[in-house]
Amino acid sequence: MTDTEIEPATTPTTAGRLAVVSAALTGLLIANLAIYAAGRAFGGTFVYLQNATPVEVGPLAITIMSLVPLATGLAVIAALSRLWPAAIRVARIAGPTLAVATIGLMTVPAGFDTTSAVSLAVMHLTTIPATLIALNALARQ
The DSSP annotation for 113-127 comes to -HHHHHHHHHHHHHH
| Contact of 70 with 137, CB cutoff 8 Å | no
Task: Report the distance separating Cα 84 and Cα 79, nearest Å.
Answer: 9
pTM for the model stands at 0.85
In the chain, the number of structural domains is 1
CA-nearest of 87, 91, 102, 79 to 131 is 91
Q: Are 131 and 71 in contact (CB under 8 A)?
A: no
Residue 78 placed within a domain: yes
Identify whether 57 is part of a domain. yes
Sequence-distant (6+) residues with CB within 8 A of 89 are: none
In order along its 141 residues, the chain shows pLDDT tens digits of: 555 555 444 455 778 778 888 999 999 999 999 999 999 999 999 999 999 999 999 999 999 999 999 999 999 998 898 899 899 999 999 999 999 999 999 999 999 999 999 999 999 999 999 999 999 988 875
Determine the pLDDT at residue 5: 54
Q: Is 135 exposed, middle or buried (0-12, 13-18, 19+ CB in 10 A)?
A: buried
81 domain-assigned: yes
- Per-residue pLDDT, 96: 97
pLDDT at position 17 = 79
2, part of any domain = no
- Distance between CA atoms of 125 and 31, rounded to whole angstroms? 11
Per-residue pLDDT, 101: 97
Give per-residue burial for 112-123: e unless 16+ CB within 10 Å, then b. beebbbbbbbbb
- Which pLDDT value is given to residue 18? 84
In a domain, 29, yes or no: yes
Q: For residue 71, what pLDDT is reported?
A: 95
Residues 6 or more apart in contact with residue 12 via CB below 8 angstroms = 20, 137, 140
The range of the structural domain enclosing residue 86 comes to 14-139
- The answer to whether residue 121 is domain-embedded is yes
Does residue 22 sit within a domain?
Answer: yes
